[in-house]
A and B are shown apart, each in its own frame.
Chain A
Amino acid sequence: MSIQATSASLAAEPRATYGVRARPVWAALAAPYTLFLLVLLIVPFANVAFFSVHSYSPTKILLPELTLDNFAKLFDLYYLRLFGRTFRLGLITTIVCVVLGYPLAYFLARARPRVLAIGLFLLIMPLMVSTVIRVFGWIVILGRKGLVNEALLALGLEPVKLLYTETAVVIGLVNIFLPFMVLPLMASIERISPSLEEAAQNLGANWRQTFARVILPLSVPGLISGCLLVYSISISAFVTPALLGNSRERMAAQQIYDEVLVSFNWPSASSLAIALVALTLVLTFWALFATRRAGRRERAQ
Protein backbone atom coordinates (compact mmCIF):
# COMPACT_ATOMS: atom_id res chain seq x y z
CA MET A 1 0.00 0.00 0.00
CA SER A 2 1.22 3.44 0.80
CA ILE A 3 4.91 4.07 0.97
CA GLN A 4 5.06 7.60 2.24
CA ALA A 5 4.94 6.97 5.96
CA THR A 6 7.71 6.34 8.38
CA SER A 7 10.91 4.51 7.81
CA ALA A 8 13.85 4.34 10.12
CA SER A 9 16.07 6.37 7.82
CA LEU A 10 13.39 9.00 7.20
CA ALA A 11 12.43 9.61 10.79
CA ALA A 12 15.82 9.86 12.38
CA GLU A 13 19.33 8.55 12.24
CA PRO A 14 19.39 5.23 14.01
CA ARG A 15 21.10 5.21 17.35
CA ALA A 16 23.47 2.33 17.45
CA THR A 17 23.58 1.05 20.98
CA TYR A 18 25.18 -2.32 20.91
CA GLY A 19 28.20 -1.56 18.77
CA VAL A 20 29.92 -3.41 16.01
CA ARG A 21 30.77 -6.53 17.98
CA ALA A 22 27.06 -7.32 18.30
CA ARG A 23 26.73 -8.13 14.59
CA PRO A 24 25.26 -11.62 14.91
CA VAL A 25 22.41 -10.17 16.96
CA TRP A 26 21.04 -7.98 14.17
CA ALA A 27 21.44 -10.85 11.74
CA ALA A 28 19.50 -13.17 14.02
CA LEU A 29 16.75 -10.57 14.42
CA ALA A 30 16.47 -9.78 10.72
CA ALA A 31 16.87 -13.36 9.49
CA PRO A 32 13.34 -14.76 10.03
CA TYR A 33 11.50 -12.16 7.98
CA THR A 34 14.31 -11.99 5.41
CA LEU A 35 14.06 -15.74 4.86
CA PHE A 36 10.30 -15.45 4.76
CA LEU A 37 10.45 -12.84 2.03
CA LEU A 38 13.00 -14.81 0.05
CA VAL A 39 10.82 -17.92 0.05
CA LEU A 40 7.42 -16.24 -0.32
CA LEU A 41 8.18 -13.15 -2.39
CA ILE A 42 11.41 -13.56 -4.34
CA VAL A 43 11.08 -17.26 -5.19
CA PRO A 44 7.44 -16.91 -6.36
CA PHE A 45 8.36 -14.08 -8.72
CA ALA A 46 11.46 -15.94 -9.91
CA ASN A 47 9.09 -18.82 -10.66
CA VAL A 48 6.81 -16.43 -12.58
CA ALA A 49 9.83 -15.20 -14.55
CA PHE A 50 10.71 -18.85 -15.27
CA PHE A 51 7.19 -19.57 -16.55
CA SER A 52 7.24 -16.45 -18.69
CA VAL A 53 10.13 -17.66 -20.86
CA HIS A 54 8.66 -21.11 -21.50
CA SER A 55 5.95 -22.24 -23.91
CA TYR A 56 2.46 -23.22 -22.91
CA SER A 57 1.48 -26.83 -23.27
CA PRO A 58 -2.07 -28.08 -22.75
CA THR A 59 -0.85 -31.37 -21.31
CA LYS A 60 2.19 -30.47 -19.23
CA ILE A 61 2.74 -27.46 -16.99
CA LEU A 62 5.19 -26.08 -19.55
CA LEU A 63 7.52 -27.13 -22.34
CA PRO A 64 11.21 -27.20 -21.50
CA GLU A 65 12.41 -24.96 -24.39
CA LEU A 66 13.17 -21.31 -23.77
CA THR A 67 11.15 -18.77 -25.73
CA LEU A 68 10.30 -15.09 -25.81
CA ASP A 69 6.98 -15.70 -27.57
CA ASN A 70 4.99 -14.87 -24.45
CA PHE A 71 6.47 -11.40 -24.40
CA ALA A 72 6.14 -10.96 -28.17
CA LYS A 73 2.48 -11.85 -27.79
CA LEU A 74 1.97 -8.83 -25.51
CA PHE A 75 2.27 -6.71 -28.67
CA ASP A 76 -0.71 -8.41 -30.33
CA LEU A 77 -3.68 -6.16 -30.90
CA TYR A 78 -5.70 -7.87 -28.16
CA TYR A 79 -3.06 -7.22 -25.50
CA LEU A 80 -2.30 -3.72 -26.77
CA ARG A 81 -5.98 -2.90 -26.38
CA LEU A 82 -5.96 -4.45 -22.92
CA PHE A 83 -2.98 -2.31 -21.90
CA GLY A 84 -4.46 0.76 -23.55
CA ARG A 85 -7.72 0.37 -21.62
CA THR A 86 -5.90 -0.36 -18.36
CA PHE A 87 -3.58 2.64 -18.66
CA ARG A 88 -6.42 4.92 -19.75
CA LEU A 89 -8.63 3.94 -16.79
CA GLY A 90 -5.64 4.32 -14.47
CA LEU A 91 -4.95 7.81 -15.83
CA ILE A 92 -8.58 8.94 -15.55
CA THR A 93 -8.73 7.59 -12.00
CA THR A 94 -5.55 9.49 -11.10
CA ILE A 95 -6.82 12.75 -12.56
CA VAL A 96 -10.17 12.49 -10.78
CA CYS A 97 -8.33 11.66 -7.55
CA VAL A 98 -6.22 14.83 -7.90
CA VAL A 99 -9.30 16.98 -8.48
CA LEU A 100 -11.24 15.50 -5.56
CA GLY A 101 -8.26 14.84 -3.31
CA TYR A 102 -6.40 18.14 -3.45
CA PRO A 103 -9.07 20.26 -1.70
CA LEU A 104 -9.56 17.49 0.87
CA ALA A 105 -5.81 17.27 1.51
CA TYR A 106 -5.60 21.05 1.90
CA PHE A 107 -8.57 21.06 4.27
CA LEU A 108 -7.05 18.31 6.44
CA ALA A 109 -3.58 19.88 6.41
CA ARG A 110 -5.00 23.13 7.79
CA ALA A 111 -7.63 21.59 10.10
CA ARG A 112 -7.65 21.89 13.88
CA PRO A 113 -6.50 18.71 15.68
CA ARG A 114 -10.02 17.56 16.59
CA VAL A 115 -11.33 18.03 13.06
CA LEU A 116 -8.20 16.36 11.70
CA ALA A 117 -8.74 13.30 13.93
CA ILE A 118 -12.31 12.88 12.70
CA GLY A 119 -11.29 13.56 9.09
CA LEU A 120 -8.50 10.99 9.21
CA PHE A 121 -10.76 8.38 10.77
CA LEU A 122 -13.37 8.90 8.04
CA LEU A 123 -10.64 8.69 5.40
CA ILE A 124 -8.77 5.64 6.69
CA MET A 125 -11.65 3.54 8.03
CA PRO A 126 -13.26 2.96 4.59
CA LEU A 127 -9.80 2.26 3.17
CA MET A 128 -9.37 -0.64 5.58
CA VAL A 129 -12.73 -2.25 4.86
CA SER A 130 -12.48 -4.97 2.22
CA THR A 131 -12.58 -3.71 -1.36
CA VAL A 132 -15.29 -6.20 -2.15
CA ILE A 133 -17.64 -4.58 0.40
CA ARG A 134 -17.18 -1.07 -0.98
CA VAL A 135 -17.69 -2.34 -4.52
CA PHE A 136 -20.86 -4.09 -3.35
CA GLY A 137 -22.10 -0.73 -2.04
CA TRP A 138 -21.56 0.79 -5.48
CA ILE A 139 -23.49 -2.06 -7.12
CA VAL A 140 -26.46 -1.15 -4.92
CA ILE A 141 -26.07 2.56 -5.70
CA LEU A 142 -25.47 2.30 -9.45
CA GLY A 143 -27.60 -0.73 -10.35
CA ARG A 144 -30.58 -0.77 -12.69
CA LYS A 145 -32.91 -0.23 -9.75
CA GLY A 146 -30.27 1.46 -7.66
CA LEU A 147 -30.23 4.71 -5.79
CA VAL A 148 -29.19 6.84 -8.77
CA ASN A 149 -31.78 5.46 -11.14
CA GLU A 150 -34.58 5.60 -8.58
CA ALA A 151 -33.72 9.25 -8.02
CA LEU A 152 -33.76 9.91 -11.78
CA LEU A 153 -37.14 8.18 -12.09
CA ALA A 154 -38.53 10.18 -9.19
CA LEU A 155 -37.47 13.34 -11.01
CA GLY A 156 -39.28 12.10 -14.12
CA LEU A 157 -36.04 11.41 -16.00
CA GLU A 158 -34.91 8.36 -17.95
CA PRO A 159 -32.83 5.80 -16.03
CA VAL A 160 -29.23 5.47 -17.22
CA LYS A 161 -27.05 2.41 -17.54
CA LEU A 162 -24.20 2.91 -15.09
CA LEU A 163 -23.39 -0.52 -13.72
CA TYR A 164 -21.07 -2.60 -15.92
CA THR A 165 -19.66 0.47 -17.67
CA GLU A 166 -16.26 2.14 -17.53
CA THR A 167 -17.86 5.00 -15.61
CA ALA A 168 -18.76 2.60 -12.82
CA VAL A 169 -15.21 1.21 -12.78
CA VAL A 170 -13.72 4.70 -12.49
CA ILE A 171 -16.17 5.63 -9.72
CA GLY A 172 -15.21 2.49 -7.82
CA LEU A 173 -11.46 2.97 -8.33
CA VAL A 174 -11.58 6.63 -7.26
CA ASN A 175 -13.61 5.72 -4.19
CA ILE A 176 -11.13 3.07 -3.16
CA PHE A 177 -7.83 4.80 -3.95
CA LEU A 178 -8.61 8.43 -3.07
CA PRO A 179 -6.91 8.15 0.37
CA PHE A 180 -3.63 7.24 -1.34
CA MET A 181 -3.76 10.61 -3.07
CA VAL A 182 -4.88 12.58 -0.02
CA LEU A 183 -2.35 11.29 2.52
CA PRO A 184 0.93 12.15 0.73
CA LEU A 185 -0.54 15.44 -0.52
CA MET A 186 -1.64 16.35 2.97
CA ALA A 187 1.83 15.60 4.34
CA SER A 188 3.31 17.91 1.71
CA ILE A 189 0.86 20.76 2.33
CA GLU A 190 1.32 20.54 6.11
CA ARG A 191 4.98 21.43 5.68
CA ILE A 192 4.06 24.67 3.92
CA SER A 193 3.87 27.29 6.63
CA PRO A 194 0.50 29.11 6.75
CA SER A 195 2.48 32.33 7.17
CA LEU A 196 3.59 31.99 3.53
CA GLU A 197 -0.06 32.11 2.49
CA GLU A 198 -0.68 35.12 4.71
CA ALA A 199 2.37 36.87 3.27
CA ALA A 200 1.11 36.29 -0.27
CA GLN A 201 -2.29 37.63 0.66
CA ASN A 202 -0.84 40.67 2.43
CA LEU A 203 1.03 41.40 -0.77
CA GLY A 204 -2.29 41.50 -2.59
CA ALA A 205 -2.61 37.98 -4.03
CA ASN A 206 -6.13 36.54 -4.15
CA TRP A 207 -6.66 32.92 -3.13
CA ARG A 208 -6.35 31.71 -6.71
CA GLN A 209 -2.96 33.36 -7.10
CA THR A 210 -1.87 32.17 -3.67
CA PHE A 211 -2.78 28.64 -4.63
CA ALA A 212 -1.13 28.73 -8.06
CA ARG A 213 2.07 30.54 -7.00
CA VAL A 214 2.63 29.32 -3.42
CA ILE A 215 0.73 26.19 -2.38
CA LEU A 216 0.75 24.22 -5.61
CA PRO A 217 4.49 24.55 -6.41
CA LEU A 218 5.47 23.65 -2.85
CA SER A 219 3.20 20.60 -2.74
CA VAL A 220 4.61 19.06 -5.93
CA PRO A 221 6.52 16.24 -4.13
CA GLY A 222 3.31 15.05 -2.46
CA LEU A 223 1.40 15.44 -5.70
CA ILE A 224 3.94 13.33 -7.60
CA SER A 225 4.01 10.54 -5.06
CA GLY A 226 0.21 10.55 -4.72
CA CYS A 227 -0.24 10.34 -8.50
CA LEU A 228 2.33 7.58 -8.97
CA LEU A 229 0.82 5.63 -6.10
CA VAL A 230 -2.79 5.91 -7.29
CA TYR A 231 -1.83 5.18 -10.89
CA SER A 232 0.26 2.14 -10.06
CA ILE A 233 -2.40 0.63 -7.78
CA SER A 234 -5.27 1.27 -10.15
CA ILE A 235 -3.59 -0.36 -13.16
CA SER A 236 -3.43 -3.64 -11.22
CA ALA A 237 -6.98 -3.43 -9.85
CA PHE A 238 -8.97 -6.63 -10.10
CA VAL A 239 -12.06 -6.71 -7.89
CA THR A 240 -13.44 -3.32 -8.96
CA PRO A 241 -13.41 -3.91 -12.73
CA ALA A 242 -14.47 -7.55 -12.22
CA LEU A 243 -17.63 -6.57 -10.35
CA LEU A 244 -18.44 -3.11 -11.73
CA GLY A 245 -17.14 -3.39 -15.28
CA ASN A 246 -18.22 -4.96 -18.52
CA SER A 247 -16.88 -8.51 -18.92
CA ARG A 248 -15.82 -7.75 -22.49
CA GLU A 249 -13.80 -4.66 -21.57
CA ARG A 250 -11.41 -6.02 -19.03
CA MET A 251 -8.35 -4.67 -17.27
CA ALA A 252 -4.93 -6.35 -17.15
CA ALA A 253 -5.34 -8.03 -13.75
CA GLN A 254 -8.58 -9.69 -14.90
CA GLN A 255 -6.74 -11.15 -17.87
CA ILE A 256 -4.04 -12.53 -15.54
CA TYR A 257 -6.67 -13.99 -13.21
CA ASP A 258 -8.40 -15.77 -16.10
CA GLU A 259 -5.20 -17.09 -17.60
CA VAL A 260 -4.09 -18.48 -14.23
CA LEU A 261 -7.34 -19.91 -12.90
CA VAL A 262 -9.58 -20.45 -15.94
CA SER A 263 -7.54 -21.17 -19.07
CA PHE A 264 -4.44 -22.41 -17.15
CA ASN A 265 -2.12 -20.71 -19.62
CA TRP A 266 0.46 -20.01 -16.95
CA PRO A 267 3.34 -18.93 -19.22
CA SER A 268 1.14 -16.30 -20.85
CA ALA A 269 -0.17 -15.06 -17.49
CA SER A 270 3.42 -14.90 -16.25
CA SER A 271 4.68 -12.67 -19.04
CA LEU A 272 1.76 -10.32 -18.44
CA ALA A 273 2.43 -10.33 -14.68
CA ILE A 274 6.15 -9.63 -15.20
CA ALA A 275 5.33 -6.67 -17.46
CA LEU A 276 2.86 -5.26 -14.95
CA VAL A 277 5.02 -5.76 -11.88
CA ALA A 278 8.05 -4.23 -13.61
CA LEU A 279 6.05 -1.14 -14.51
CA THR A 280 4.59 -0.87 -11.00
CA LEU A 281 7.99 -1.19 -9.33
CA VAL A 282 9.48 1.52 -11.53
CA LEU A 283 6.61 3.87 -10.65
CA THR A 284 6.59 3.14 -6.92
CA PHE A 285 10.37 3.37 -6.53
CA TRP A 286 10.20 6.67 -8.34
CA ALA A 287 7.60 7.81 -5.79
CA LEU A 288 9.67 6.45 -2.90
CA PHE A 289 12.81 8.27 -3.99
CA ALA A 290 10.89 11.46 -4.72
CA THR A 291 9.61 11.40 -1.13
CA ARG A 292 13.03 10.62 0.32
CA ARG A 293 14.70 13.32 -1.73
CA ALA A 294 12.14 15.88 -0.62
CA GLY A 295 12.66 14.82 3.00
CA ARG A 296 16.44 15.07 2.68
CA ARG A 297 16.24 18.49 1.04
CA GLU A 298 14.05 19.68 3.87
CA ARG A 299 16.43 18.46 6.55
CA ALA A 300 19.30 20.16 4.71
CA GLN A 301 17.54 23.52 4.87
Chain B
Amino acid sequence: MSARSSSALLSFVALVYLGLLAPLVVVVAVSFGPSAAFEFPPSGLTLRWFNEFFASGPFVDSFFRVSLLVGLLTSVLATLLGTAAALALVRFRFFGREALETFFLLPLLVPEILLGAALYLLYARLALQASIWTLLCGHLVICTPYVIRSATAGLIGIDPRLEEAAMSLGATRIQAFFRVSLPLLRSSLLSGAIFAFIISFSDINLALFLSGPQSTSLPVHLFSQIQWQGDPTIAAASTLQIAIIGTLILIVQRMFRLRLMV
Protein backbone atom coordinates (compact mmCIF):
# COMPACT_ATOMS: atom_id res chain seq x y z
CA MET B 1 0.00 0.00 0.00
CA SER B 2 1.28 3.49 -0.80
CA ALA B 3 1.91 5.98 2.00
CA ARG B 4 -1.05 8.09 0.92
CA SER B 5 -3.59 5.32 0.85
CA SER B 6 -2.36 3.91 4.14
CA SER B 7 -2.71 7.25 5.89
CA ALA B 8 -6.19 7.54 4.38
CA LEU B 9 -6.97 4.11 5.84
CA LEU B 10 -5.60 5.17 9.21
CA SER B 11 -7.77 8.28 9.40
CA PHE B 12 -10.84 6.32 8.29
CA VAL B 13 -10.19 3.73 11.01
CA ALA B 14 -9.72 6.49 13.59
CA LEU B 15 -13.10 7.98 12.61
CA VAL B 16 -14.85 4.61 12.86
CA TYR B 17 -13.40 4.09 16.35
CA LEU B 18 -14.51 7.60 17.27
CA GLY B 19 -18.08 6.72 16.30
CA LEU B 20 -17.84 3.37 18.05
CA LEU B 21 -16.67 4.88 21.32
CA ALA B 22 -18.60 8.17 21.16
CA PRO B 23 -21.67 7.01 23.12
CA LEU B 24 -19.55 5.59 25.95
CA VAL B 25 -17.37 8.70 26.17
CA VAL B 26 -20.45 10.90 26.27
CA VAL B 27 -22.12 8.81 28.99
CA VAL B 28 -19.01 8.89 31.19
CA ALA B 29 -18.61 12.65 30.67
CA VAL B 30 -22.27 13.33 31.51
CA SER B 31 -21.97 11.32 34.74
CA PHE B 32 -19.25 13.68 36.03
CA GLY B 33 -20.96 16.88 34.85
CA PRO B 34 -22.87 19.23 37.18
CA SER B 35 -25.86 19.87 34.92
CA ALA B 36 -29.10 17.93 35.40
CA ALA B 37 -29.75 18.20 31.67
CA PHE B 38 -27.52 15.77 29.80
CA GLU B 39 -24.86 18.29 29.00
CA PHE B 40 -21.84 17.52 26.81
CA PRO B 41 -19.11 18.60 27.12
CA PRO B 42 -19.69 19.03 30.88
CA SER B 43 -19.17 22.50 32.32
CA GLY B 44 -17.56 21.24 35.51
CA LEU B 45 -16.61 18.20 37.51
CA THR B 46 -18.73 16.71 40.28
CA LEU B 47 -19.50 13.37 41.93
CA ARG B 48 -23.06 14.47 42.65
CA TRP B 49 -24.67 11.86 40.40
CA PHE B 50 -22.67 9.05 41.99
CA ASN B 51 -23.92 10.19 45.39
CA GLU B 52 -27.45 10.23 43.99
CA PHE B 53 -26.89 6.73 42.66
CA PHE B 54 -25.82 5.33 46.04
CA ALA B 55 -28.69 7.20 47.74
CA SER B 56 -31.30 5.78 45.38
CA GLY B 57 -32.93 2.56 46.61
CA PRO B 58 -34.10 1.32 43.19
CA PHE B 59 -30.69 1.93 41.60
CA VAL B 60 -28.72 0.28 44.40
CA ASP B 61 -31.11 -2.69 44.50
CA SER B 62 -31.05 -3.23 40.77
CA PHE B 63 -27.26 -2.90 40.63
CA PHE B 64 -26.18 -4.96 43.64
CA ARG B 65 -29.08 -7.15 44.69
CA VAL B 66 -30.17 -8.15 41.22
CA SER B 67 -27.60 -7.61 38.45
CA LEU B 68 -24.44 -8.30 40.43
CA LEU B 69 -25.96 -11.25 42.29
CA VAL B 70 -27.50 -12.86 39.22
CA GLY B 71 -24.29 -12.23 37.29
CA LEU B 72 -22.14 -13.97 39.90
CA LEU B 73 -24.51 -16.92 40.29
CA THR B 74 -24.79 -17.27 36.51
CA SER B 75 -21.04 -17.18 36.21
CA VAL B 76 -20.46 -19.98 38.73
CA LEU B 77 -23.24 -22.25 37.47
CA ALA B 78 -22.49 -21.64 33.78
CA THR B 79 -18.85 -22.53 34.42
CA LEU B 80 -19.85 -25.87 35.96
CA LEU B 81 -22.38 -26.71 33.23
CA GLY B 82 -20.16 -25.47 30.43
CA THR B 83 -16.96 -27.18 31.54
CA ALA B 84 -18.74 -30.53 31.84
CA ALA B 85 -20.29 -30.08 28.39
CA ALA B 86 -16.94 -29.09 26.86
CA LEU B 87 -15.26 -32.15 28.39
CA ALA B 88 -17.87 -34.39 26.78
CA LEU B 89 -17.36 -32.70 23.40
CA VAL B 90 -13.56 -32.66 23.36
CA ARG B 91 -12.48 -35.75 25.25
CA PHE B 92 -14.96 -38.29 23.95
CA ARG B 93 -15.94 -39.61 20.58
CA PHE B 94 -19.52 -40.66 20.25
CA PHE B 95 -22.29 -40.80 17.72
CA GLY B 96 -23.93 -37.38 17.26
CA ARG B 97 -21.06 -35.41 18.79
CA GLU B 98 -21.17 -32.72 16.11
CA ALA B 99 -24.94 -32.46 16.34
CA LEU B 100 -24.66 -32.02 20.12
CA GLU B 101 -22.06 -29.33 19.60
CA THR B 102 -24.38 -27.42 17.27
CA PHE B 103 -27.21 -27.90 19.77
CA PHE B 104 -25.05 -26.34 22.49
CA LEU B 105 -24.44 -23.33 20.24
CA LEU B 106 -28.15 -22.89 19.57
CA PRO B 107 -28.72 -20.31 22.34
CA LEU B 108 -26.31 -18.00 20.52
CA LEU B 109 -28.27 -18.31 17.28
CA VAL B 110 -31.74 -17.55 18.65
CA PRO B 111 -32.44 -13.81 19.01
CA GLU B 112 -32.30 -12.99 22.72
CA ILE B 113 -35.44 -10.88 22.67
CA LEU B 114 -37.42 -13.83 21.26
CA LEU B 115 -35.94 -16.22 23.81
CA GLY B 116 -37.00 -13.75 26.50
CA ALA B 117 -40.54 -13.64 25.13
CA ALA B 118 -40.67 -17.44 24.83
CA LEU B 119 -39.48 -17.94 28.42
CA TYR B 120 -41.95 -15.33 29.63
CA LEU B 121 -44.83 -17.16 27.92
CA LEU B 122 -43.71 -20.49 29.40
CA TYR B 123 -43.39 -19.04 32.92
CA ALA B 124 -46.80 -17.40 32.46
CA ARG B 125 -48.39 -20.69 31.49
CA LEU B 126 -46.82 -22.44 34.45
CA ALA B 127 -47.90 -19.50 36.64
CA LEU B 128 -44.32 -18.92 37.81
CA GLN B 129 -43.69 -15.54 39.42
CA ALA B 130 -40.81 -13.47 38.06
CA SER B 131 -37.88 -13.47 40.48
CA ILE B 132 -34.11 -13.48 40.36
CA TRP B 133 -34.38 -17.26 39.83
CA THR B 134 -36.40 -16.96 36.63
CA LEU B 135 -33.85 -14.40 35.43
CA LEU B 136 -30.97 -16.66 36.47
CA CYS B 137 -32.38 -19.60 34.49
CA GLY B 138 -32.69 -17.44 31.37
CA HIS B 139 -29.15 -16.12 31.75
CA LEU B 140 -27.73 -19.62 32.16
CA VAL B 141 -29.12 -20.51 28.73
CA ILE B 142 -27.32 -17.65 26.97
CA CYS B 143 -24.12 -17.54 29.09
CA THR B 144 -23.10 -21.20 29.19
CA PRO B 145 -22.10 -21.32 25.48
CA TYR B 146 -19.35 -18.79 26.23
CA VAL B 147 -17.88 -21.12 28.85
CA ILE B 148 -18.20 -24.07 26.46
CA ARG B 149 -16.33 -22.08 23.86
CA SER B 150 -13.42 -21.10 26.12
CA ALA B 151 -13.24 -24.48 27.86
CA THR B 152 -13.23 -26.26 24.48
CA ALA B 153 -10.36 -24.10 23.27
CA GLY B 154 -8.49 -24.74 26.53
CA LEU B 155 -9.04 -28.49 26.45
CA ILE B 156 -7.89 -28.82 22.86
CA GLY B 157 -4.63 -27.20 23.91
CA ILE B 158 -3.93 -29.82 26.58
CA ASP B 159 -2.27 -33.05 25.59
CA PRO B 160 -4.51 -35.87 26.89
CA ARG B 161 -1.37 -37.99 27.37
CA LEU B 162 -0.64 -35.88 30.46
CA GLU B 163 -3.72 -37.32 32.13
CA GLU B 164 -2.85 -40.78 30.84
CA ALA B 165 0.59 -40.46 32.38
CA ALA B 166 -0.95 -39.48 35.72
CA MET B 167 -3.30 -42.46 35.49
CA SER B 168 -0.49 -44.84 34.68
CA LEU B 169 1.20 -43.59 37.84
CA GLY B 170 -1.83 -44.65 39.83
CA ALA B 171 -4.15 -41.63 39.80
CA THR B 172 -7.81 -42.26 39.19
CA ARG B 173 -9.35 -40.54 36.18
CA ILE B 174 -11.00 -37.98 38.41
CA GLN B 175 -7.76 -37.26 40.28
CA ALA B 176 -5.94 -36.99 36.97
CA PHE B 177 -8.44 -34.41 35.72
CA PHE B 178 -8.45 -32.31 38.88
CA ARG B 179 -4.70 -32.46 39.54
CA VAL B 180 -3.36 -32.30 35.99
CA SER B 181 -5.81 -30.80 33.51
CA LEU B 182 -7.75 -28.39 35.69
CA PRO B 183 -4.72 -26.28 36.69
CA LEU B 184 -3.80 -26.03 33.01
CA LEU B 185 -7.35 -24.96 32.17
CA ARG B 186 -7.38 -22.20 34.76
CA SER B 187 -7.08 -19.20 32.45
CA SER B 188 -9.55 -20.46 29.86
CA LEU B 189 -12.13 -21.38 32.50
CA LEU B 190 -11.67 -18.05 34.27
CA SER B 191 -12.14 -16.24 30.95
CA GLY B 192 -15.31 -18.22 30.30
CA ALA B 193 -16.58 -17.43 33.80
CA ILE B 194 -15.84 -13.72 33.34
CA PHE B 195 -17.62 -13.65 30.00
CA ALA B 196 -20.63 -15.44 31.46
CA PHE B 197 -20.74 -12.76 34.14
CA ILE B 198 -20.44 -9.93 31.61
CA ILE B 199 -23.17 -11.29 29.35
CA SER B 200 -25.51 -11.70 32.29
CA PHE B 201 -24.58 -8.35 33.83
CA SER B 202 -25.23 -6.36 30.65
CA ASP B 203 -28.19 -8.35 29.29
CA ILE B 204 -31.37 -6.43 28.71
CA ASN B 205 -33.26 -8.48 26.14
CA LEU B 206 -34.05 -11.41 28.44
CA ALA B 207 -34.32 -9.25 31.53
CA LEU B 208 -37.04 -7.06 29.95
CA PHE B 209 -39.30 -10.11 30.00
CA LEU B 210 -37.98 -12.00 33.02
CA SER B 211 -37.43 -9.24 35.58
CA GLY B 212 -40.27 -8.76 38.04
CA PRO B 213 -41.00 -5.78 40.25
CA GLN B 214 -38.76 -7.27 42.97
CA SER B 215 -36.05 -8.34 40.54
CA THR B 216 -35.50 -5.42 38.18
CA SER B 217 -32.01 -5.71 36.76
CA LEU B 218 -29.84 -2.64 36.23
CA PRO B 219 -30.24 -2.49 32.43
CA VAL B 220 -34.04 -2.77 32.76
CA HIS B 221 -34.08 -0.04 35.41
CA LEU B 222 -31.91 2.13 33.14
CA PHE B 223 -34.29 1.44 30.25
CA SER B 224 -37.30 2.67 32.18
CA GLN B 225 -35.40 5.65 33.62
CA ILE B 226 -34.40 6.67 30.08
CA GLN B 227 -38.01 6.36 28.93
CA TRP B 228 -39.11 8.56 31.84
CA GLN B 229 -36.29 11.00 31.11
CA GLY B 230 -34.52 10.70 34.43
CA ASP B 231 -31.43 12.63 35.50
CA PRO B 232 -27.68 11.87 35.07
CA THR B 233 -27.91 9.23 37.80
CA ILE B 234 -28.52 7.05 34.73
CA ALA B 235 -25.10 8.10 33.47
CA ALA B 236 -23.45 7.45 36.85
CA ALA B 237 -24.83 3.90 36.99
CA SER B 238 -23.76 3.39 33.37
CA THR B 239 -20.25 4.63 34.13
CA LEU B 240 -19.96 2.07 36.93
CA GLN B 241 -21.02 -0.70 34.56
CA ILE B 242 -18.59 0.49 31.88
CA ALA B 243 -15.75 0.52 34.45
CA ILE B 244 -16.51 -3.00 35.68
CA ILE B 245 -16.85 -4.46 32.18
CA GLY B 246 -13.80 -2.62 30.84
CA THR B 247 -11.66 -3.99 33.68
CA LEU B 248 -12.93 -7.53 33.17
CA ILE B 249 -12.28 -7.42 29.42
CA LEU B 250 -8.73 -6.24 30.11
CA ILE B 251 -8.22 -9.19 32.45
CA VAL B 252 -9.51 -11.64 29.84
CA GLN B 253 -7.30 -10.09 27.20
CA ARG B 254 -4.22 -10.50 29.39
CA MET B 255 -4.72 -14.18 30.06
CA PHE B 256 -6.66 -15.54 27.10
CA ARG B 257 -7.42 -14.92 23.46
CA LEU B 258 -10.14 -12.29 23.57
CA ARG B 259 -11.17 -13.01 20.01
CA LEU B 260 -12.22 -16.54 20.81
CA MET B 261 -14.80 -15.26 23.24
CA VAL B 262 -16.96 -13.05 21.07
Q: Which residues of A contact B (CB under 8 A)?
A: 1-3, 5-9, 11-12, 14-18, 20, 22-23, 25-27, 29-30, 32-34, 36-37, 40-41, 43-45, 47-48, 51, 61, 100-101, 103-104, 106-107, 117, 119-141, 143, 145-147, 175, 178-179, 183, 197, 207, 232-233, 236-239, 243, 253, 256-257, 260-261, 266, 269-270, 273, 276-277, 280-281, 284-285, 288
Contact = CB atoms under 8 A, between A and B. Distances in A.
A120 B258 contact: yes
Nearest to A42: B106
Given A33-B85, A128-B245, A17 B163 contact: yes
A8 B30 CA distance: 44
A5 B100 contact: no
A281 B110 contact: yes
A260 B117 contact: yes
Given A129-B245, A141-B22, A124 B156 contact: no
A253 B111 CA distance: 10
Given A48-B121, A175-B20, A26 B219 contact: no
Interface string B236-262: 001001100110011001000011111
Contacts of B113: 236-238, 253, 256-257
- Residue from A25, A33, A106, A138 with most neighbouring chain B CB atoms (10 Å): A33
Interface string B204-231: 1100110000000011001100110000
A140 B38 contact: yes
A14 B91 contact: yes
A130 B219 contact: yes
Contact of A44 (B19, B119, B227): B119
B110 A3 contact: no
Interface in B1-38: 1-2, 5, 9-10, 12-13, 16-17, 19-27, 30, 37-38
A121 B253 contact: yes
Contact of A133 (B89, B93, B109, B242): B242
Contact of A30 (B85, B199, B204, B235): B85
Contact of A14 (B90, B109, B115, B198): B90
30 contacts: A6-B153, A7-B101, A7-B149, A9-B101, A16-B92, A23-B92, A29-B87, A34-B100, A40-B119, A41-B115, A43-B122, A45-B118, A61-B125, A104-B16, A107-B10, A130-B241, A133-B23, A133-B27, A135-B226, A136-B222, A136-B226, A137-B25, A138-B23, A140-B27, A141-B22, A183-B262, A237-B113, A238-B113, A273-B118, A285-B109
Contacts of A1: 108, 262
B121 A270 contact: yes
B262 A179 contact: yes
Given A8-B152, A30-B89, A40-B119, A107 B13 contact: yes
A-side binding surface: helix, strand, loop or mixed? helix
Interface of B: 1-2, 5, 9-10, 12-13, 16-17, 19-27, 30, 37-38, 40, 80-82, 84-94, 97-98, 100-111, 113-115, 117-122, 124-125, 137-138, 140-141, 144, 148-149, 152-153, 156, 160, 163-164, 173, 198-199, 201-205, 208-209, 218-219, 222-223, 226-227, 234-235, 238, 241-242, 245-246, 249-250, 253, 258-262
B27 A41 contact: no
Nearest to A254: B113
A106 B9 contact: yes
Contacts of A146: 38, 40
B91 A18 contact: yes
Given A2-B108, A6-B152, A261-B209, A15 B24 contact: no
Contacts of B118: 44-45, 47-48, 273
B245 A16 contact: no
Which 5 pairs between the two chains have the least Cβ-Cβ distance? A137-B23, A236-B111, A26-B92, A44-B118, A130-B202
Contacts of B104: 33, 37
Contact of B24 (A30, A124, A126): A126
Contacts of B173: 18
